Each structure stands twice: as C-alpha cells, then as structure tokens.
Amino acid sequence: MAGPLLETKLHVPRRRRGLVARPRLVDRVSRGEMPPLVLVSAPAGFGKTTLLTEWLAAARTDGTLVAWLSLDQRDDDPTTFWTYLVSAVRTAVPDVGAQALALLQSPQSATDAVLATLLNELQSVPDELVLVLDDYHVIEAGDVHDGVGFLLDHLPPQIHLVIATRVDPPLPLARLRARGELVEVRAADLRFAPDEAETYLGDVMGLTLTAGEVAALEGRTEGWIAALQLAALSMQGRNDVASFIAGFAGDDRFVVDYLVEEVLQRQPERVRSFLLQTSVLSRLTGPLCDAVTGQDGGKAMLEALERGNLFLVPLDDRRRWYRYHHLFGEVLRARLLDEDPDRVRALNVRASNWYEREGDRSAAIDHALAAEDFERAAELVERAMPAMSQVRQEATLRRWFEALPDELFGVRPVLAVGYVGALMSTGDVRGVEPRLRDAERWVDPTTSSREPPGDMVVVDHDAFRRLPTEITMYRAGLALVAGDVAGTLTHAQRALDLAGPDDHLGRGAAESLIGLAHWRTGNLEAAQHWYSDGMATLGRAGRRSDEVGGAITLADLCVAQGRLREAMSYYGRGLQIATGDPAVVLRGAADMHVGMAELFRERNDLDAARRHLSISSELGDSAGLPKNRYRWRVTMARLHQLDRDPAGALDLLAEAERVYNTDFSPDVQPIPAIRARLSLTQGRLAVARAWVREQGLTVDDELSYLREFQHVTLARVLLAEHSAERSEPSLLGARRLLERLLRAAEDGGRTGTVIEILVLQALAHRAGGDLPAARASLLSAMTLAEPEGYVRIFVDEGAPMAALLREMTQGSGAAYARSLLDALGTAADAARVDQGLVDPLSPRELDVLRLLGTHLDGPDIARQLFVSLNTVRTHTKNIYAKLGVNNRRSAVRRGEELDLMSARSDR
C-alpha cells in the first residue's frame, strides 16, 4: 500500500434521524431470497447511500453481517482495491481474510489466487454477509472489473455483493439478469414520489407549504432528492417562499448550480469560506481542515455543518472524519475555481504537507499533483517507487508519472527510469524511448561513473548508482521488441559487464535477454544455454516468479528442438515453483497447465489436454502471465478443430489475435498462419491461398527462422493445390521448398520442425508416386518422433497418412506405425457415431444438443464450450435442420428418441 489503511473507508454509515421512510425500496432490495448482486445505479444526488443505510439497518436487526467499502480514485489499482475489500470483509468477519491479505503483500502472488483464498474462507461463514461497494464508478481498471466478475461467479450462496454506482459497471449484468441473480434499483426508482416529497419538505425540513407549492418543487426537480434538499435549505427562514418557488420553478439554469448558489449566499461568510476552502479535500477532519484553512475550530465547524444538514456525511462513529456529499463537493470545487483559482493551489499544497506529516504519502502525492506542485510531487513519487514496485502497484505509479510534466524527467534520471520500468512491466513500450533518453543525458552507461552531477535532482543515491546497468538492460529489451538482434546482444552484454558479481537480478536479466535474442535467429542451442543460465541466476536473486515465467520459454525451446519429454518436465517444475507454497500461488501457474495441455494434445491424450485447460481457466487470467490468454485460446482452438468444430476454432483464434502478447518471445507461430492451416483442414483452399498472397510468400524466398512456420504452411497449401487440382507445378514447388526447409531446420537443431517437414515430404513423395522415397521420409520422421511420444503430427494428416503407415507395419518402426494407425482408427470411428441420421451430428453438435437438454441458456452453453454465442446459435440451427425440428424442446425430445443425449463425442 502507498499509504496507511484508511479505516474510515470501511465504516458502515449509520441511519440518520429525520429521514423519509421508503419501505417500497427497502422491500424491493430485500424481497425474497437475496441474489448474488444488488446494483444501485443512479446519478449523484439520488439517495443511493441513504437507501442502503436504511436497508442495512433493518438487515442487521435480523442478524445479517454487513461489510462496507467506500471507494475513491486511489482504489483504481488492483492491489489497493483488493486490500481494502478484504479488510472490509474482516470488519464483519474478523476470522476471514488474513491469508488473502498476506498474499496481497507478496509481489509474486496472482490476484485470482488471492480471490480463491478469500472465497475458500468465505465458504465457512455461517451467516448471511452483505458486502457493499459504494461509489464503484471510480473504478476503471480492467483487472479490477475482471476480479469482481470472478468473485461474482464464485460467491458462496450466503455472501452477497451490493454495488452503488453512478454508471453501470462492465460486469456480466445481462447474464445475471437472465438467471434471476440480480436486483436493480435505478434513478427512476429512487426519485421521491409526490407523497415522499411532501413528507420530506414538511416533516424533515420543517417547511409549511401548500400542496401546489410542493407539487411545483417536486415537478421542477423531478423527484431528485439532492435538488429538493438544496431547495429546502434555500427556503428556510425566508419570508418570500412563494416567490422563491415561482422563480425557481421557472428558472432555466442547471438546478444544482442554481441551488448551491442560493445555499452559499445564505451562509455566514465564515461558513461559506470554510465550505469553499475545504472542498479540495476528499476527506475532512478537524486538524486537516485547520491546516488547509489556516484557522482553528475545524472540528467544531464540521459538527455544526452536520447538525445543519449541509451535505456532510460522517465516515466513522466518533465523528472525527467526514466527507461532503459528492454532488455538493463537486459544485463547491467548481465555485472555488470560478471565484479564486489561484487559491486552489495553495490549499492543495497545505493538504499535501499535512498528509506527508501524517505518513500518508499517497494522499500527499495526489494533493501535490492537484496543486501542480510538480517538483514536490516528483520527489514524493521517487521516494515511493521502491515500495510501490514491491507490492505491484504499477497502475498507481503510472497514473502519477503520467500526471507529471515531461521536463521533470529530464533532470530526474531515477524517476525517468522508474517510469520506464512501470511501462515495460506491463509490456507497453510506448513512451519508453523519451524517458530513457532523459536518463542517458545524465548517466552514460558506457562509463563507470556512479556520482550524480551537481545540477541533477537525485533522491535515492543507491538507485542512481544502479542506473547504468538498468538503462542498458532496458535498451536491450527495446531492441529485442524491435527485432534488432545485434542491438539486443550488444546492450545485454554491456549490462553484464556493468553489473557487479553480486547483482544477480541484473546479470540474470541480461543472460535471459541474450538467450531470447538467439531464439529469434533460430540458434536454439545458444538460446537454451543462455536462457537456462539466466533463470538460474535469477533464482539466486530469489526471483521465483521469473523462474516460473522462464519455464515457459525453456519448454518452448525444447518443443522446437523436438524434446517433448524435457518440455513437460519444465512445465512440471514451473508448476511446482508456482504452487509449492500454498500461501503464495505465483502468476504463471495457469500457463503451466496450458503448456501441459498442448503436449498432451500432441500425445493424443485429449482428455488430459482438456482437463489442464479447464484448470487453467478456473485459475483465471490474472493467474497467468501476459501471453497466457492467447496461448490458452490457440490450444483450445486446436482441440475444437479435432472436435470438428471449425466455427468454434475460428472464434477462439480471433480472440487469440485480439489478446496477443508475445512478452518478448519471438512470434514463431503467427495466428494468421494457424488460421490458414485450419482453412486447409476444412477444404477452404481459396482462403489459404488468400493468406499466401497477403504474406507475399513464394517457394524461392530467403528462409529465416521467424518465417519458418509460415513457409511450412505454404508447403501445405501447395500440397493441397496438387490434391485438389492435380497441379504438378504446385507439387514440384512443395518438394523443392520442403527440401530447403529441411536443411535449414536440421542445421538449426529444430527437430520439432524437422519431424513435420519429413511428414510432409513423405506425403509429397506419395502424391508423386515415389513410394520408396515416401517410406524413407516417414521412417526418418518416426525415428525422431517415437522416443518423444509424438502422435498428432502424424494422425492429423488423415487418410493419406493411414495409407503410408500401413506400408510401415513390417520391419523397423512397425510397432509405432501400428499404434499410430490405431490412433487414426479411433479418430475416424469417433467421426462415425451411428446416429440413425442421413446427415449425422458432428461431435460439437452432439455437445450442444446435450447442453440444450439442461437448464443452461445460450450464453451459459457458450461459456461451457468456450465458444461465442453466435457459434452456439449456428450449431443449434444445424441441429434443428438435421433433426427436422424447429425448437429446443423438440430437439431434446428427438435426441432422446435417437439415444443421442448420452452419446460420446470423443470429448
């Protein structure tokens, strides 16, 4: 956390005296069995918080536990948000959440691991628990919304979430609404009805008004509670109430601006000045108000404002902390800016100084930024950087960095490099170059100078002395992203030279970057050597999370080298590191399961592959590293392809392309090329040809490792052309290209590609009628593949491969050939389920049919099968046509008649 935990944010507001009872709304929220989510969504000033306090006061008398969290802008950071949310839960259930809080303090833990831990603890809560998130509209971080969605999906039945917000949050509201798991209260519900307006104006505010005057006010404000309250305050003590109402009812200016003006004019100058000056504060307490106004008596003034109903909300039971009603505070700040803009800066400076003295560095920085006291803000940020980075608060750091003017980074190299780190930690290299140049003006990474010049601003001198290594490291990373292998190697080697012998972090990062650079060139042996050394060095630095991430790269290198068993061992080791400490599940655990799933797919153990993908999905995206989202979708797409569900596979590949993140690894299997291969399996040769034209691929291209997968795909397209059109030029081109590719892959030690090329060569020789050459190529492929357990690389070629394998059932490799033929036969049998239909249902359509027989709706079925809703609709339409029905119930009945509801689809 950037500052101390503010207990006032966890205070459950008490029901105030003198409120209008609103049983119709309380009944709406509490009627029947409470759903997982209650959403109270309306603009400011509609009484959202007041309604909730009234409802919760009643709920507490029935034994319901209540936890409350008032959100503000600083909570738009995953670590801060979840720390406060868990702390809020602990105010109601002190025995819950300690382990989750401990996880949040670990820089290596995954958010979903935190949530899973919290949810497991919540299972044991014996009573109903209501958790309120007030002012949720301040949250914009996608990671936070994803986590809240995860929470909603897995809440125990006795736990309920209430969200009060000005705008609907990006949560699965439609799904919850369709399931009956959502209660909504909106502005139309919250508006005062005429009788409620009459009660409020007469009984609460003590005004004597005629029915016509009440109706005029209610009509002008349209039941908007804040406007009615401001109008009532304006009328208190007036002798000309009727003329005020007549003038107000016909006024065209914005209601709240107009009414606040009326209220302010009626206050004594001391009160008016206090309101305007303290409007810069998001929270109010006596000593802070005294510091900001330069006057004594802040505590007494706050108490007087509360007694006068002047839009002051208490934040604790001791009446020490308050806040202005948001709407009132916004208008006060606007008024202050209009009347005295120069004063705003001074007021924020005083607030910043007070918060720094109190040890709340985050609030001190925010007020310094609001004051445009950027020098001071920069100093505070620089001091906060080490602690903030340790607890994964890059989002907050970036918000602060982005609020600072560019020229400050030119004289603060430590700050500039901190900005670079915050950007690159999230894979965002935009804006990195100018910040690196800012630092390099003062720190020459080619020298060993470790003392700052006199005209440079440095707060942390140890951090300054580490800058040459860090700058050079980031230069290497930028070069790698840009595809500049030579530049990467130069900078990374220089970083190694600059790093001290005990700088395991710097040395490990440099060694890893050298390994990644060699990977881009296809020199897998050098890549494996350097990257393994880098991971070992980072392990000595205690960087367990980097070791987990490194396991993915090392496994990828093994797969490229044809060493599937070693790749599996890397995934197993990475998973052991990630989950070895039950208290701290590291990011990357989800990636290990995806990697294992891909290897099990190649071994033809499809049940194990699906199981690991399911585990990864349950862990969630935030338990994975940046590239896990697209890798999961690519592997799942390949399984959909095996399920003869091309539409679902294409959907997943489109999603994979949208969420693609290389995380500094080379893109050696581009998604468009994978999509082209899928098109070939569907017989859509024209689509694959279009991809070849888009890429500008020819058989005479200069070969490179980065385009190797694409050129092998080109060979597949040429073979498909020969098969479809008997095009001899296509076959000759394919054979010539495969021969060149084979030599290059063998020279680079890329045995995984060698096996695939040999398989295609065997098919090409068979297509040309040269069976001895076909058998020789296939035998070479089998010899390399059998020790590592390859299956799908042969089986996916279908009938032509089956014909060749039957030629191999005698002599060398016969047992392996027979096992591959068995796998081919099983796959073919799965496609021919005896359904008693002229046009049988595909395996994926069988899956959809079975789910149509459950309570699941369309979106639920899509999630169950990991496809889009449109894909489910397409399958459903096909099912209706094949079964000769026109609705869901009839389809299920017909499926039961044909005994299809329990038929296996080899899933």
SS3 427: coil
How far, in Å, are 46, 89, 134 from residue 69 at the CA level? 19, 9, 6
pTM of the model: 0.68
Q: Which residue has the higher pLDDT, 489 or 260?
A: 489
* Least reliable range by pLDDT among 78-82, 342-346, 657-661, 743-747: 657-661
Whether residue 302 sits in one domain with residue 355:
no
Q: Which residue has the higher pLDDT, 839 or 173?
A: 173
Residue 56 inside a domain? The answer is: yes
Q: Report how far residue 268's alpha carbon sits from residue 407's, in angstroms, rounded to the nearest whole number.
A: 44
Q: CB of 849 within 8 A of CB of 901? A: yes
**Neighbouring C-beta atoms of residue 886, cutoff 10 Å:** 9
> ∠ at Cα 889 (884, 894), nearest 5°?
45
Whether residue 204 sits in one domain with residue 87:
no
* Least reliable range by pLDDT among 187-191, 392-396, 621-625, 758-762: 621-625
Q: Report how far residue 348's alpha carbon sits from residue 292's, in angstroms, rounded to the nearest whole number.
A: 8
What average pLDDT score do residues 499-524 get?
91
Residue 678 inside a domain? The answer is: no
> ∠ at Cα 161 (156, 165), nearest 5°?
160
Residue 604 inside a domain? The answer is: no
pLDDT at 862 (0 to 100): 79
**Structure confidence by residue, pLDDT tens digits, 800-832:** 999 899 989 888 889 999 999 998 876 555 444
Whether residue 279 sits in one domain with residue 246:
no
Which residues neighbour 821 within 8 Å (Cβ) at sequence distance 6 or greater?
802, 805, 806, 809
What average pLDDT score do residues 396-418 get?
90
- Would the pLDDT of 639 be above 90? yes
Q: What share of the chain is helix, strand, coil (3-state, %, to 5)?
A: 65, 5, 30
pLDDT at 33 (0 to 100): 74
Beta strands at 312-314 and 159-165: parallel, antiparallel or unpaired: unpaired
Q: Report how far residue 564's alpha carbon sits from residue 152's, in angstroms, rounded to the nearest whole number.
A: 39
Whether residue 149 sits in one domain with residue 45:
yes
**Domain's final residue, options 203, 225, 254:** 254
Beta strands at 284-285 and 65-70: parallel, antiparallel or unpaired: unpaired
Which residues neighbour 815 within 8 Å (Cβ) at sequence distance 6 or greater?
none
**Structure confidence by residue, pLDDT tens digits, 753-778:** 999 999 999 999 999 999 999 999 99
pLDDT at 451 (0 to 100): 56
How far, in Å, are 61, 173, 774, 809, 883 from residue 11 at the CA level? 18, 27, 76, 76, 60
| Dmax (CA) of the chain | 112
Summary count for the chain: helices (H), strands (E): 48, 8
Whether residue 332 sits in one domain with residue 445:
no
**Domain's final residue, options 138, 159, 190:** 190
**Neighbouring C-beta atoms of residue 841, cutoff 10 Å:** 23
Whether residue 159 sits in one domain with residue 66:
yes
Buried/exposed code over 41-74 (b: 16+ C-beta within 10 A; e: otherwise): bbebbbbbbbbbbbbbeebeeeebbbbbbbbbeb
CATH code of the domain covering residue 71: 3.40.50.300
Residue 876 inside a domain? The answer is: yes
Whether residue 315 sits in one domain with residue 226:
no
**Residue listed under structure tokens 């490179």:** 704
**Neighbouring C-beta atoms of residue 870, cutoff 10 Å:** 12
Q: CB of 697 within 8 A of CB of 709? A: no
Q: Report how far residue 278's alpha carbon sits from residue 237's, in angstroms, rounded to the nearest whole number.
A: 26
pLDDT at 830 (0 to 100): 47
CATH code of the domain covering residue 316: 1.10.10
What average pLDDT score do residues 262-281 get?
88
Highest mean pLDDT among 109-113, 280-284, 334-338, 446-450: 280-284
Residue 852 inside a domain? The answer is: yes
Whether residue 166 sits in one domain with residue 292:
no
pLDDT at 603 (0 to 100): 95
Residue 833's pLDDT band, with cuts at 50, 70 and 90, is very low
In this structure, what DSSP letter does residue 182 have?
Answer: E
Whether residue 198 sits in one domain with residue 92:
no
- Would the pLDDT of 904 be above 50? no
Residue 684 inside a domain? The answer is: no
The distance from CA 438 to its chain's CA centroid, rounded to whole angstroms, is 31
Residue 791's pLDDT band, with cuts at 50, 70 and 90, is very high
Whether residue 110 sits in one domain with residue 19:
yes
Angle between helices 374-390 and 341-357 (to 10 degrees): 40
Domain that holds residue 121: 7-190
Whether residue 95 sits in one domain with residue 41:
yes
Number of domains in the chain: 5
Q: Which helix (H) or strand (E) holds 366?
A: helix 361-370
Q: Report how far residue 469's alpha carbon sits from residue 472's, in angstroms, rounded to the nearest whole number.
A: 5
Whether residue 391 sits in one domain with residue 348:
yes
Q: Report how far residue 793's alpha carbon sits from residue 785's, in angstroms, rounded to the nearest whole number.
A: 9
Angle between helices 326-339 and 341-357 (to 10 degrees): 120
Q: Which residue has the higher pLDDT, 343 or 317?
A: 343
Residue 633 inside a domain? The answer is: no
What average pLDDT score do residues 855-882 get?
82
What average pLDDT score do residues 616-626 get?
75
**Domain's final residue, options 339, 357, 374:** 339
How far, in Å, are 97, 537, 674, 842, 878 from residue 894 at the CA level? 50, 63, 37, 16, 14
163 strand-pairing partners: 39, 133
Residue 251's pLDDT band, with cuts at 50, 70 and 90, is very low
Residue 350 inside a domain? The answer is: yes
Q: Report the half-sphere exposure of 206 (CA within 13 A, side-chain side).
A: 8
Proportion of the chain above pLDDT 90, given as a percent: 42
- Would the pLDDT of 903 be above 60? no
- The one-letter amino acid code at 26 reads V
**Residue listed under structure tokens 């009326």:** 262
pLDDT at 374 (0 to 100): 95
Residue 592's pLDDT band, with cuts at 50, 70 and 90, is very high
The distance from CA 467 to its chain's CA centroid, rounded to whole angstroms, is 31
What average pLDDT score do residues 734-744 get?
97
Taking the CA atoms of 581, 582, 588 and 593 in sequence, report the sign of the dihedral they define. Answer: positive
SS3 155: coil
- Would the pLDDT of 310 be above 90? no
547 strand-pairing partners: none
- Would the pLDDT of 99 be above 70? yes
H-helix segments, 482-588: 485-498, 504-521, 524-540, 544-560, 564-579
* Least reliable range by pLDDT among 13-17, 671-675, 712-716, 883-887: 13-17
Q: Which helix (H) or strand (E) holds 652?
A: helix 646-658
Q: Is 318 exposed, middle or buried (0-12, 13-18, 19+ CB in 10 A)?
A: exposed
Q: Report how far residue 118's alpha carbon sits from residue 112's, in angstroms, rounded to the nearest whole number.
A: 10
- Would the pLDDT of 598 be above 90? yes
CATH code of the domain covering residue 891: 1.10.10.10
pLDDT at 906 (0 to 100): 43
**Residue listed under structure tokens 């207990």:** 7
**Structure confidence by residue, pLDDT tens digits, 209-222:** 888 888 888 877 77
Q: Is 512 exposed, middle or buried (0-12, 13-18, 19+ CB in 10 A)?
A: buried
Q: Which residue has the higher pLDDT, 575 or 585?
A: 575
